[in-house]
């Protein structure tokens, strides 16, 4: 009467390798294919400098997706992150107002706003019982309105170079490749932190539990409300970071974050997250974001007009989720 299989140790290395390959999330394969595709169109992208550039441009979405995954595994959505990004850019430009000395405290204030918004989202979902779809949709509207109200309708203010450094700046000199984008540094730090939190701490496990079976989680002693709030705060904070990065390369654009929330959700789904919650992978989600950016880059290189990007994105989202649904049906 074997209780636990010991075959894990008994299985040969080859078997384990094959099994591991079979279990590899398809997103990594897709990502590699896309990168190869890009490479064929414009080989400079596969050189370190070019690749880093790609990463730099993808960094805001990747960071955003990492934060979004925390919310998705609890079974919710955070649709307010795009507007949060925009608000970050707007707020930064208005508050810094071209005075470099302001940059640092402004960044703190922006994080403060982000944490506040995340708290609010979390409180509404946890205590008012409003479904996250509606709650964050309402927040999206509110943030958009707040942003417009703050600027009085037209973009104002100016972002200083030390603020934009995060998005467009480089760390130089750097061994081997001369310079390393700050954005990618930020990306690496945030990704590492997100992966650690998700895979290696109680936080990740508890969020998965909540998405899987909220009632059982509560009865097991998980503070469901508190953890949901934490998830929304994490999501909002990554939105602020993404906004700072985005503000670095774009100008003061009040629509900086438009549409990013949907992209982040699609990326997470591409990475294997289930929208009902209880299942998801942080590295795969981040890879999903990179894959999306790679796809858009590829389409750009292929000469696809900008508006059609939306159409393509729509088709991809549908395709990704359909495939995931098909796969989950097959394994049952």
Partner 1 sequence: MAEPILEVRNITKRFPGVVALNDVSVGFVPGEVHAVVGENGAGKSTLMKILVGAYIPDEGEIIFQGQPRTFNHPREAQEAGISIIYQEFNLLPERTVAQNIFLGREPTRFGTIDRRQLRRQTLDVLKQVGGEGIISPDVEVKSLSVAEQQLVEIAKALSFDSKVLIMDEPTAALATHEVAILTDLIQKLIARGMAVIFISHRFTEVFDLAQTITVLKDGQHVATVPIREVTPGKVITMMVGRELDQYFPGLAKPEEIGEVMVKVENGRNAKLHDINLELRAGEIVGVAGLQGSGRTELAQALFGVEPFTGGTVIVKGEEMRVRKPHTAINARMGFVTEDRKAEGVLPNQPVSDNILVSVRALQSMLRRIKRTGTANRPGLVPELVKQVDVRTPSINQEVQYLSGGNQQKVILAKWLASTCDIFIFDEPTRGIDVDAKASIHEMIRELAQAGAAVLMISSELPEIIGMSDRIVVMWDGRISGELPPGASEEQIMFLATGHEEQEPSQLEGKAAGIEVGA
Partner 2 sequence: MEPKGQPQAKDTFMSAITWTNVRSRVRESKIPPVYGILIVVFVAAVVLDAIFGRGQITSGTILTNMVVRSVALGIVAMGQTFVMLGASIDLSVAYLISVTAVMASYLMQGDPARVPLAVTAVFAIGGVVGLINGLIVSKLKVNPFIATLGVGLVLKGILNASFETFVGAVPRSFQTLGYGTLGPIPISILVLLAVTIVSALVLSRTRFGSHLYAVGGSEITSRLSGLRTDRVLILAHVVCSLTAVLTGLFVVSRLRSGAPWVGTDGLYDLESIAAVVVGGTALSGGKGGVVGTLAGVLIFGVLDTMFNQLGVDTFLKQVLRGAIIILAVASYTIRSREKAA
Interface positions with partner 1 (CB under 8 A): 1, 3-5, 8, 197, 200-203, 205-206, 208-209, 212-213, 215-223, 227, 230, 274, 278-279
57, 211 Cβ separation under 8 angstroms: no
180 by DSSP, 3-state: which? strand
**Planar angle of CA 125, 126, 127, nearest 5 degrees:** 105
**What's the min distance (Å) between Cβ of 19 and partner 2?**
27
Please identify, using beta-carbon distances, which residue of 70 and 77 lies nearer to partner 1. 70
Q: Which of 106, 108, 111 is nearest to 94 (CA)?
A: 106
CA-based end-to-end distance of the chain = 26
- Whether the link from the prior residue into 145 is cis, omega within 30° of 0, is no
- Binding characters for partner 2, 208-247, by CB under 8 A (x = yes): ---x--xx--------x-----------------------
**What's the min distance (Å) between Cβ of 147 and partner 2?**
8
> Hey, what are 160's tokens?
């200083």
# chain residues binding partner 2, by CB under 8 A: 57
**What's the min distance (Å) between Cβ of 189 and partner 2?**
30
Q: Could you give phi then psi for residue 173, rounded to 5 degrees?
A: -80, 160
Residues 244-263 that bind partner 2 (CB under 8 A): 262
169 touches partner 2 by CB under 8 A: no
Please identify, using beta-carbon distances, which residue of 42 and 202 lies nearer to partner 1. 202
Give Cα 209 distance to the centre of its chain: 21
277 touches partner 2 by CB under 8 A: yes
Q: How far is CA 292 from CA 92, 190, 288, 299, 304, in A?
A: 27, 19, 6, 11, 15
266, 65 Cβ separation under 8 angstroms: no
84 touches partner 2 by CB under 8 A: no
Q: Who contacts 69 (Cβ-Cβ below 8 Å, separation ≥6)?
A: 194, 198, 268, 271, 273, 280, 282, 285
Pick from 275, 283, 300, 301 the residue near partner 2 by CB under 8 A.
275
- Binding characters for partner 2, 289-328, by CB under 8 A (x = yes): ----------------x-xxxxxxxxxxxx--xx--xx--
Please identify, using beta-carbon distances, which residue of 103 and 136 lies nearer to partner 2. 136
Pick from 27, 54, 124, 240 the residue near partner 2 by CB under 8 A.
124
191 touches partner 2 by CB under 8 A: no
Interaction partner, residue 124 (partner 1, partner 2, none; CB < 5-8 Å by kind): partner 2
CA distance 154 to 61: 25
Please identify, using beta-carbon distances, which residue of 184 and 268 lies nearer to partner 2. 268
Please identify, using beta-carbon distances, which residue of 3 and 306 lies nearer to partner 1. 3
CA distance 313 to 272: 17
Interaction partner, residue 217 (partner 2, partner 1, none; CB < 5-8 Å by kind): partner 1
Interaction partner, residue 230 (partner 2, partner 1, none; CB < 5-8 Å by kind): partner 1
60, 245 Cβ separation under 8 angstroms: yes
Pick from 32, 134, 188, 302 the residue near partner 2 by CB under 8 A.
134
């Amino acid at each position: 009467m074997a209780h636990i299989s010991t075959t894990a140790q008994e299985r040969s290395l080859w078997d384990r390798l094959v099994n591991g390959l079979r279990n590899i999330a398809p997103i990594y394969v897709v990502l590699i294919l896309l990168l190869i595709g890009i490479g064929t169109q414009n080989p400079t992208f596969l050189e370190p400098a070019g690749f880093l550039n790609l990463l730099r441009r993808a960094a805001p979405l990747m960071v955003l997706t990492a934060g979004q995954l925390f919310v998705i595994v609890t079974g919710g959505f955070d649709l307010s992150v795009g507007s949060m990004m925009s608000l970050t850019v707007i707020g930064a430009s208005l508050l810094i107002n071209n005075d470099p000395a302001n940059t640092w405290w402004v960044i703190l204030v922006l994080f403060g706003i982000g944490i506040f918004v995340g708290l609010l989202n979390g409180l509404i979902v946890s205590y008012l019982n409003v479904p996250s779809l509606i709650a964050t949709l309402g927040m999206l509207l509110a943030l958009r309105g707040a942003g417009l109200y703050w600027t009085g309708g037209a973009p104002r203010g100016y972002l200083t170079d030390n603020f934009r450094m995060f998005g467009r700046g480089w760390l130089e000199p750097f061994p081997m490749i001369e310079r390393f984008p700050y954005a990618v540094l930020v990306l690496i730090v945030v990704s590492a932190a997100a992966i650690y939190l998700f895979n290696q701490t109680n936080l990740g496990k508890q969020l998965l539990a909540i998405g899987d079976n909220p009632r059982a989680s509560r009865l097991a002693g998980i503070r469901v409300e508190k953890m949901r709030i934490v998830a929304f705060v994490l999501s909002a904070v990554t939105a602020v970071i993404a906004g700072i990065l985005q503000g670095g390369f774009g100008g003061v654009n009040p629509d900086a974050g438009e549409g990013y929330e949907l992209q982040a959700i699609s990326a997470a789904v591409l990475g294997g997250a289930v929208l009902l919650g209880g299942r998801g992978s942080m590295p795969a989600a981040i890879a999903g974001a990179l894959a999306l950016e790679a796809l858009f880059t590829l389409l750009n290189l292929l000469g696809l007009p900008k508006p059609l990007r939306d159409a393509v994105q729509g088709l991809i989202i549908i395709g990704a989720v359909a495939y995931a649904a098909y796969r989950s049906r097959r394994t049952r």
